[in-house]
Amino acid sequence: MKVRALLSVTDKTKIEKLAKDLCDLGVELISTGGTYQTIKEADLDVIEIEKLTNFPEILEGRVKTLSPYVHGGILYKRDNNSHLATVKELNIKPIDIVVVNLYDFQKALDGGNPEEIIENIDIGGPSMLRSAAKNHKDVLVVTDPRDYEELIERLKNDDIDLAYRQRLAMKAFNLTAFYDSLIGRYFSKLTGKESKYKTFGFKKESDLRYGENPGQRAGLYNDPFVKGLMENIEVIHGKEMSYNNYNDLNPAIELCQELGENAVVCLKHQSPCGVAVGSCVYDSYMKAFECDSQSIFGGIVAVNGIVDKKASEKMHEIFLEIIAARDFTDEALEVLRKKKNLRLVKVNFDNESVREELRYLNGKVLIQDKDFGKDEINLVTNKKPSEEEIKDLLFAQKVVKYVKSNAIVVARGMKTLGCGAGQQSRVWALELIKDHFKDRDFKGAVLGSDAFFPFSDTVELAHEMGIESIIQPGGSIRDQDSIDKCNEYDMSMVFSKSRHFKH
């Protein structure tokens, strides 16, 4: 019996060549709409879908393949006598190869036209893919133009085994699941509601050399539904980005975006080690670098601005993994490109940051809103902070959101003087800053904390260091102890009402 293939694709990459190769192998072609026209114009024999279904396309193409003559030809079991008798009685012909990809729902989403979005919800395409993938034992289902060449080679060599069929079926089911996830998320966003099912679809961009460590496999995936800060970063120079590079770059540019123009973030191992907002990129970089010139070695610098020659010459002096910025001047690129392994990355800081965070546990998934909590200034002490101190307090509290908990940030003049991260006790985070920067002058500085003080020991150490104002969320049953200590030392303290744990 003659082999028959149904071709119906939105992405017409290589479809003419595939159609010709199938014809050369004696495969009978059936097709729909624009795909039919493309194959016909290539002067190849092809049967229009209406000739198969004995029914015209209707409702502006919404219904064309939803027919027993299509799905019956795909779904019947070739080794089942009852199925064979049914298709013979109803004159349903077999369809042995299904080559389908789907309406470009993602492109319609990007356009934003509601009517066009709805019309690009493919119905017939996913139905055919699911039918063919379900009956993969008898039907080959192909969704990706990159698989056309292998299909033809295997057909030529009669090399169609079950493992190959299962691999194609896996791709088909993953495609329809991914496609449906985009549609589900669109309607969740449209309605502002969630069902008990939460769907995410990720599309692979590339394999990475390894994960956090050489023994771990890793890949980079894109979330097409989200236009986040990492959506269209552009690596314009340097080595291939690694798993750790991407992982570290993300919080660096998020904090940079939050702090605004001319912000510079120096980051190492997921935590900021120096942050500043100065009069220009050079000024900001020097202040951020001076906070911890040791830890930034081998780290990442993110710049919410344009790196010029003056800034690039200072950055060039040390080993950095990545410099990420809104842009680079030609003169800066000339300086920085002298280091062939240094990755230079352009970031669109105008993109909106993601609204949700996911953490995959061992068989469970945690999903939460991103920490966009805005800090308030609620005075709780006798002394009120000055206007300059308030600016520094809010700056410190923005930075502390990105420091691993338990976290403390000490700042003055819109620059960090120390970031204490990842300690089991909050006062230890401040001790870390004091002990690491023994000769640093902290007089007149402010302190930001990611969570409340369970005891007054942090206030006591801050006073010893010369810190004069504190911002913290409050909420401890012993808040009054810390307030009383601040009043005793003539320090000001405000409650922000927003906790900023980052674990």
Q: What percent of the chain has pLDDT over 90?
A: 74
Strand order in the sheet with 416-420: 378-379, 492-495, 469-472, 446-449, 408-411, 416-420
| Residue 62 pLDDT level (bands cut at 50, 70, 90) | confident
Residue 365 has pLDDT above 70, yes or no: yes
Residue 159 has pLDDT above 80, yes or no: yes
Nearest to 167 by CA among 194, 189, 208, 136: 136
And the tokens for 479? 């808040």
> DSSP for 337-405?
TTSTT-EEEE--TTSPPPSEEEEE-SS-EEEEE---PPP--EE-SSSPPPHHHHHHHHHHHHHHTTSPS
Q: What is the pLDDT of residues 449-501, one digit of tens each?
A: 999 999 999 999 999 999 999 999 999 999 999 999 999 999 999 999 888 88
Residue 251 has pLDDT above 90, yes or no: yes
Q: Residue 35 and residue 86: Cα distance in Å, rounded? A: 30
Q: What is the pLDDT of residues 89-140, one digit of tens each?
A: 998 999 999 999 998 888 888 887 888 889 888 898 999 999 999 999 999 9
Contact 278, 300 (CB under 8 A): no
| Residue 375 pLDDT level (bands cut at 50, 70, 90) | confident
Residue 1 has pLDDT above 70, yes or no: no
Q: Residue 445 and residue 427: Cα distance in Å, rounded? A: 17
Residue 180 has pLDDT above 70, yes or no: yes
pLDDT for 149 = 95
- φ, ψ dihedrals at 321, nearest 5°: -80, -45
**Using alpha carbons only, what angle is made at residue 111 by residues 110 and 116, rounded to the nearest 5 degrees?**
115
Give the DSSP H/E element, type plus range, for residue 169.
helix 162-191
pLDDT for 227 = 84
Nearest to 346 by CA among 241, 423, 421: 241
On average, the pLDDT of the chain sits at 93
Q: Residue 153 and residue 16: Cα distance in Å, rounded? A: 16
222 preceded by a cis bond (ω within 30 of 0): no
Q: Is the dihedral of CA 431, 436, 439, 440 positive or negative?
A: negative
Active-site residue identified among 14, 83, 93, 134: 134
Higher pLDDT, 6 or 58: 6
Helices (H), 401-436: 426-436
Instruction: Clarify whether 398 is annotated catalytic.
Output: no
pLDDT for 182 = 93
Q: What percent of the chain has pLDDT over 70?
A: 100
Instruction: Clarify whether 340 is annotated catalytic.
Output: no
Q: What is the pLDDT of residues 13-24, one digit of tens each?
A: 999 999 999 999
Q: Residue 228 and residue 225: Cα distance in Å, rounded? A: 9
Contact 71, 131 (CB under 8 A): yes
Q: Residue 452 and residue 458: Cα distance in Å, rounded? A: 10
3-state secondary structure of 4: strand
Considering only 305-319, 344-358, 464-478, which range has the smallest mean pLDDT?
A: 344-358
Angle between helix 457-465 and 426-436 (nearest 10): 20
- φ, ψ dihedrals at 416, nearest 5°: -80, 145
Contact 301, 285 (CB under 8 A): yes
pTM: 0.87
Higher pLDDT, 261 or 57: 261
Q: Which domains does the chain have, with CATH numbers?
A: 4-191 (3.40.50.1380), 244-353 (3.40.140.20), 378-495 (3.40.140.20)
Contact 341, 320 (CB under 8 A): no
Contact 128, 37 (CB under 8 A): no
Half-sphere exposure of 306 (CA within 13 A, CB side): 7
Q: What is the pLDDT of residues 185-242, one digit of tens each?
A: 999 988 988 889 988 999 999 999 999 999 999 999 999 888 889 988 999 999 999 9
Q: Residue 73 and residue 4: Cα distance in Å, rounded? A: 10
Residue 148 has pLDDT above 90, yes or no: yes
Residue 110: exposed, middle, or buried by beta-carbon count in 10 A (0-12, 13-18, 19+)? Answer: exposed
Active-site residue identified among 269, 339, 391, 436: 269
pLDDT for 447 = 98
Mean local confidence (pLDDT), 305-309: 97
Q: What is the CA radius of gyration of the chain?
A: 30
Helices and strands in the chain, H and E counts: 18, 21
Q: What is the pLDDT of residues 63-98, one digit of tens each?
A: 777 888 989 999 999 899 999 899 899 989 999 999
Cβ-Cβ contacts under 8 Å for 196 (sequence gap 6 or more)? none
Q: What is the pLDDT of residues 224-238, one digit of tens each?
A: 888 889 988 999 999
Give the DSSP H/E element, type plus range, for residue 277.
strand 271-277
Q: What is the pLDDT of residues 385-431, one digit of tens each?
A: 999 999 999 999 999 999 998 999 999 999 999 999 989 888 999 99
